[in-house]
Amino acid sequence: MNHFELREGALWCEDTPLAEIARVVGTPAYVYSTATLQRHYRVFVEALGEHESLRGALVAFAVKANSNLSVLATLARAGAGADTVSEGEIRRALAARVAPERIVFSGVGKTYAEIAFALEVGVGQINVESEPELGAVASIARESGRCAPVAIRVNPDIAAGGHAKISTGAAESKFGVSRGEAERLYAAAAADPALKVRGIACHIGSQITDLAPMASAFAVMRELVLDLRRGGLPVERLDLGGGLGVPYFNQPDPPGPQAFAAVAAKAAEGLDVQAVFEPGRFIAANAGILLASVIHVHERPEGRRFLVLDAAMNDLIRPAMYDAWHDLRPVRSRQGPRRDYDVVGPVCETGDTFARARPLPPLESGDLVAFMSAGAYGAVMASEYNTRPLAPEVLVRGAEWALVRRRPTYEEILAREPAAPWL
């Protein structure tokens, strides 16, 4: 459920008409709903809370899904921790007042400087993804006189996810270590006084709509916890990652948080571990939209009808990169027979196509439209390709709203590039 609804023939976000936001900040623009962010976080935590083995779990929002500071602060206030993959994201989480011990630091290529920074600010868990990385974390910890809290990221050799580019759990993917290697690294970490090994972690993919691979991966993790303990090694945390899919409206509803929690609970049952989760998309996707305006409707004599928008692939890359489907709704309801439109942006690439032959009511130049479910992997993946300024971001709370990232001016964009002195 989300808080983008039709009222009197127009699309609103909570108690704010989207047309009002577009009038003030212009388009394209991202709009997020506070109530939806809070609701999704709460529903997730409540689903976990129904299981003894998952009570007290750390729910660390995957910052890469939506890293806007006001979005992070909204979730931090609701109680969320943060799953981060760079120093920049750790800095964002801290700026949004996530307590350092509630920050998880993941990623296959953490640099020396990033690891040193994570240790200095005291993140709660560094997910180590390889043997060389374990060595690096240990030596940086020794040099700085700190003890590094680590978890070993296991690649359970089970692939899942809505698209090959967002599947991370197969043996040939770059993420984590094999189960056998994990046991060896875990023992090495436990024996190193510069490291405090807290547990094991996995994350097998994103936009997962089938719980079976998750159940298999979690079963591998459970077995590993038991094996490590049989070997006399302490395991205090079990991090089961993120990946739960969301409905993008053209699919059957994916499994909800209750079904997901039941699968996770089965894996954690009786282990007496603190569970950790890293949901991103589930929390943020349906809490945001991308607002755009129609520039032209261009009908070719041979039949194709193009809806040319002022939003493009640089603003929302998911359709171009993952063949993703986003529902597109007119902001003011239009009467009339639906016709097929190819929905495109102004960028000079054929890939700048949001949808082909999409049935939509009659639309004209100047109309506002909304790409639904754009709150995750939307603004964060935007670029200034074609020197198009980054779309601004707006956070709505009831009848009030705030510009939480402004659109850069052309002067700001050009000023970032000092001329070479010989020019």
Ligand X SMILES: *Cc1c(COP(=O)(O)O)cnc(C)c1O
Cis ω for the linkage preceding 346 (within 30 of 0): no
Closer residue to ligand X in complex, CB, 206/209: 206
Residue 37: both structure tokens together: 């962010």
- 150 touches 197 (CB < 8 A): yes
CB of 152 closer than 8 Å to CB of 185? yes
By C-beta, is 163 or 407 nearer to ligand X? 163
Give the range of 6-14, 28-36, 176-184, 272-280 binding ligand X by CB under 6 A: 272-280
Counting contacts by CB under 6 A, is residue 281 touching ligand X?
Answer: yes
The answer to whether 65 contacts ligand X (rule: CB under 6 A) is: yes
Pairing of strands 274-277, 237-239: parallel
Judged by CB under 6 A, the residue of 241, 345, 375, 378 near ligand X is 241
Q: Is 374 in the site for ligand X (CB under 6 A)?
A: no
Nearest distance from residue 176's CB to ligand X, in Å?
9
Neighbouring-strand partners of residue 298: 306
Stretch that binds ligand X, among 51-59, 69-77, 274-282, 331-339 (CB under 6 A): 274-282
Residue of 290, 310, 280 whose CA lies nearest to 373: 290
Burial class of residue 249 in the structure, from the number of CB atoms within 10 Å of its CB (0-12 exposed, 13-18 middle, 19+ buried)? middle
The encoded tokens of residue 192 equal: 């190193």
CB nearer to ligand X: give 28 or 241: 241
Longest dimension (CA), the chain: 75
The answer to whether 339 touches 358, Cβ cutoff 8 Å, is no
Among 54, 62, 200, 311, binds ligand X (CB under 6 A): 62
Minimum distance from residue 283 beta carbon to ligand X (Å): 8
Spell out the alpha helix ranges (H) of 354-418: 410-415
Question: Does 206 participate in binding ligand X (rule CB under 6 A)?
Answer: yes
Known catalytic residue: 348? yes
23 Cβ contact partners less than 8 Å away, ≥ 6 residues apart: none
Q: Which residues contact 91 (CB under 8 A, 6 or more apart)?
A: none
Please say which residue, 64 or 329, places its beta carbon nearer to ligand X: 64
Whole-number minimum distance, CB 54 to ligand X, in Å?
A: 17
Which one of 13, 147, 202, 348 is the catalytic residue?
A: 348
Question: Least Å distance between CB 297 and ligand X?
Answer: 35
Sole binder of ligand X in the list 39, 64, 198, 388 (CB under 6 A): 64
Tell me the closest approach of the beta carbon of residue 286 to ligand X, in angstroms.
Answer: 12
Please pick, from the candidates 28, 124, 280, 392, the single residue that binds ligand X as defined by CB under 6 A.
280
Would residue 241 be called left, alpha or beta, if left means φ above 0 and alpha means ψ between -120 and 50 degrees? left
Question: Residue for token digits 């171009």?
Answer: 320
Q: Of residues 74, 106, 155, 293, which one binds ligand X by CB under 6 A?
A: 106
Report residue 372 as tokens: 């639904």
Q: How far is the CB of 156 from ligand X (least distance, A)?
A: 13
Span near ligand X by CB under 6 A; candidates 31-39, 238-246, 354-362, 366-374? 238-246
Residue with tokens 């993140």: 123
Active site residues: 348
Residues that bind ligand X (CB under 6 A): 62, 64-65, 83, 106, 203, 206, 241-244, 278-282, 376
